[in-house]
Structure 1
Amino acid sequence: MELNVIGAKPLSVSDEVFGGEYKKALVHQVVIAYQAAGRAGTQSQLSRGQMSGTTKKFKKQKGGGARHGDYRAPIFVGGGRAFAAKPRSYEQKVNRKAYRVAIRSIFSELARQGRLKVVESFGVESPKTSLMVAKLAELEVSGRVLLVSEDASEAVFLAARNIPYIHVLDVMGLNPVSLVGSDHVVMTVDAVKKVEEWLA
């Protein structure tokens, strides 16, 4: 298949990478796994047995209403937690092959919906926000925009930094969350070729 390159001749790309079937369930699994892997998992609480303080019974067993042993019980303010959270890993295993299939699926859907735009270059040689704003207006993209280049230059990064909802990534930094969460994805020709080489 061919992808239209703005201001240049169409680019021939692999049908497998940019024209495949959209696998919604797999994409969902990969996105959730990526988000879960970003969780710190450092939450820690004290259970009743780990609380400091006396274990002395503070009231007689009968005649005073509810029966209690000590003030460390979860029912009391300052007591231990009934089901205390402990540090844990939220990582979910995703096979490398499945991850690549999911990324291919996302790119195919972006191309099918017209949300993937390809350019020769971003045309921003100096780190000026006005140049980036003009370039985005020329490309007719709005909302959450992801700019992807083979090796994102500092000028492009600085020019886009002050524009809300504009993110710049290189090919190595691509991830399913950024792709799925973008209204438009703008890629350079070199980036498309590198992605195709990676996912082929």
Structure 2
Amino acid sequence: MSLLVPAIGNQDSAQALDVSEAVFGQDFNETLVHQLVTKYLSAARAGTKAQKNRAAVSGGGAKPFRQKGTGRARAGTTRGPIWRTGGVSFAAQPRSFDQKLNKKMYKVGIRSIFSELLRQDRLAVFNDFVPSAPKTKEFLGKIKGITEGRLLIVADELTDNLILAARNLPNVAILTPISVDPVSLVYADKVIVSTTALKQIEERLA
């Protein structure tokens, strides 16, 4: 059994594309999609924040002053957190925020997103979006009528003309099938895919 992904563009060449129900006909798994998006965003965090603990700050090799007779609280080191030049309590250290998610779960999650995009009429096939020159005006003319909201274009090849023509448009993102990520798919109001790119996505998720 298969499904049809609607096509947009020139009426003479616009034909719906037949795709596998096993990839584009899955139920929406909200819990898994949330986990997928959280993993992707967490992996993008730098995790480079670092502070010095007591062991990392200089000084503290000797008792700063004698135990009694000074009128001050006793102290055995100048590296404690109560001192101005001391170390930080529970100091932050470099870490990775990445979360574990196996490949099978990742595939199921991406299938779920694509299936929901198709059910909501937010996924369509469009082959005539590559401009003949790196001109934003020409590119806008090709995608006229589908630029409302955030647009994600999945092209089988990123040409210089396509990249240069679209880079000044804040609500348009362009990816290849291998670089499609869950956040871009969920964030987009409309996803248009070339025929070749859609077949590549179907093969990767099969």
TM-score (norm 2): 0.86
* Within-5 A mapping of 1:130-169: 130-138=137-145, 140-169=146-175
Gaps of 5+ in 2: none
TM-superposed CA distance for 1:156, in Å, is 0.8
| Contact 1:5–1:119, Cα closer than 8 Å, also in 2 | yes
1:186 is paired with a residue of what secondary structure?
A: strand
TM-superposed CA distance for 1:113, in Å, is 1.5
Q: Which moved more, 1:7-16 or 1:93-102?
A: 7-16
Q: Select 1:4's aligned residue among 6, 23, 41.
A: 6
Q: How many residues end up aligned between the 2 structures?
A: 199
Quick one: distance in 2 between partners of 1:49 and 1:61? 26
Return the letter of the residue paired with 1:175: D
Q: Any idea what the Cα deviations from partners look like across 1:114-161, whole Å, max 9, x if unmatched? A: 2212212314121101112223323x2323221101112221111000
1:37 aligns with 2:43: yes
Match of 1:86 in 2: 93
Return the letter of the residue paired with 1:149: A
Q: Any idea what the Cα deviations from partners look like across 1:8-62, whole Å, max 9, x if unmatched? A: 1211111122221011111111122222222333322211122102353347568
Return the letter of the residue paired with 2:169: I
Return the letter of the residue paired with 1:131: E
Return the letter of the residue paired with 1:93: K
| Contact 1:151–1:171, Cα closer than 8 Å, also in 2 | no
Return the letter of the residue paired with 1:75: I
| Contact 2:29–2:109, Cα closer than 8 Å, also in 1 | yes
Return the letter of the residue paired with 1:144: R
Q: Which moved more, 1:36-45 or 1:173-182?
A: 36-45
Match of 1:101 in 2: 108
Deviating 4+ runs (over 6 angstroms) = none
* Root mean square deviation of aligned Cα: 2.1
TM-score (norm 1): 0.88
* Within-5 A mapping of 1:16-35: 16-35=22-41
Gaps of 5+ in 1: none
1:126 aligns with 2:144: no
Return the letter of the residue paired with 1:174: V
Q: Which moved more, 1:56-65 or 1:40-49?
A: 56-65
Q: Which moved more, 1:39-48 or 1:163-172?
A: 39-48
TM-superposed CA distance for 1:169, in Å, is 0.8
| Contact 2:24–2:115, Cα closer than 8 Å, also in 1 | yes
| Contact 2:128–2:142, Cα closer than 8 Å, also in 1 | no
Identity of aligned residues (%): 44
TM-superposed CA distance for 1:66, in Å, is 5.5
Return the letter of the residue paired with 2:18: S
